[in-house]
Amino acid sequence: MTSGKAVALVTGASGGIGAAIATRLAADGFALCVGYSGGVDSAERTVDAIKATRGRALAIKADVSDVDSVDRLFSELQERLGAPTVVVHSAGIMPPARIDEVDLPTFDRAIAVNLRGAYIVLGRAARALSAGGRIIALSSSVLAKNFPGYGPYIASKAGVEGLVRVLANELRGRNICVNAIAPGPVATPLFLKGKSEEQIAALSKIAPIERLGEPEDIARVASFLAGPDGAWINGQVLRANGGFA
């Protein structure tokens, strides 16, 4: 359990992995800022779930690809809950597109949300955190598989992993840990959208554990990295994937 003054921001926390991470960190004792870009009702459900267990939480809307919007997010968080001690950047999209289609609108959207968004949020987090702080980004274990149709997504998430490693070095001497979690296939609407039952069944068998991950599987890893036992983990990508890759 953390102290009562510990504050965590989780972007993309209106559902899926982000919501599970926010709920778990609240159970660990953090006051939570539930960041979201759309779906205010879903974001408020995450807040209500946290409050139902006597946690503190609020929801703030922000477009992670827009620097002014992210600045407002951090300013409002500071005013309403205090300075964050943990920032988890979970916001992301997975738009399918083959490289040979040269679908630039889809590529640009994936880069804007997943990579530009990470660049902005991680940079602002680095400014906001003090000694002992934690920055956690979400990547993906799909990087190791090179599935057709995942080009924009894989390119953006490879960039996220690069940002994490560089930022860890840039924050030398400040005692702030910067890491990424790279989930394998997780049963969320983001991952399941557009896939047939046969595709889902096949993907669930790739990992030796032979099941899809659950959002709570990833939330446990975030809890470890955000908590006292994660204080010696820095500049790493933890592949939480059941042996998927």
Q: Which residue has the tokens 């703030």?
A: 60
Whether 153 is a known active-site residue: answer yes
In this structure, is residue 106 part of a structural domain? yes
Q: How far apart are CA 155 and CA 223, in angstroms?
A: 27
In this structure, is residue 245 part of a structural domain? no
Q: What is the CATH number of the domain that holds 19?
A: 3.40.50.720
Q: How far apart are CA 62 and CA 65, in angstroms?
A: 9
Asked if 46 and 33 count as a contact pair (C-beta separation under 8 A), the reply is no
Residue 31 dihedral angles phi and psi, to the nearest 5°: -80, 135
pLDDT by position in tens, the chain (length 245): 344 579 999 999 999 999 999 999 999 999 999 999 988 999 999 999 999 999 999 999 999 999 999 999 999 999 999 999 999 999 999 999 999 999 999 999 999 999 999 999 999 999 999 999 999 999 999 999 999 999 999 999 999 999 999 999 999 999 999 999 999 999 988 778 778 899 899 989 999 999 999 999 999 999 999 999 999 999 999 999 999 98
Nearest Cα neighbor of 30 from 227, 237, 217, 240 is 227
* Assigned token pair, 11: 């972007």
Q: What is the pLDDT of residue 4?
A: 52
* Assigned token pair, 7: 């504050």
In this structure, is residue 70 part of a structural domain? yes
Domain that holds residue 148: 7-238
Total domains present in the chain: 1
Catalytic one among 36, 119, 150, 153?
Answer: 153
Beta bridge partners of 61: 36
In this structure, is residue 243 part of a structural domain? no
Residue 29 dihedral angles phi and psi, to the nearest 5°: 110, 5
Beta bridge partners of 11: 89
In this structure, is residue 49 part of a structural domain? yes
Q: How far apart are CA 14 and CA 44, in angstroms?
A: 8
Q: How far apart are CA 53 and CA 234, in angstroms?
A: 31
Q: How far apart are CA 152 and CA 168, in angstroms?
A: 25
In this structure, is residue 244 part of a structural domain? no
In this structure, is residue 2 part of a structural domain? no
In this structure, is residue 25 part of a structural domain? yes
Q: How far apart are CA 69 and CA 50, in angstroms?
A: 25
Q: How many residues does the chain have?
A: 245
Q: How far apart are CA 101 and CA 111, in angstroms?
A: 17
Sheet with 237-238, side-by-side order of all strands: 57-61, 31-36, 7-11, 86-89, 134-138, 177-181, 237-238
Q: What is the pLDDT of residue 2?
A: 46
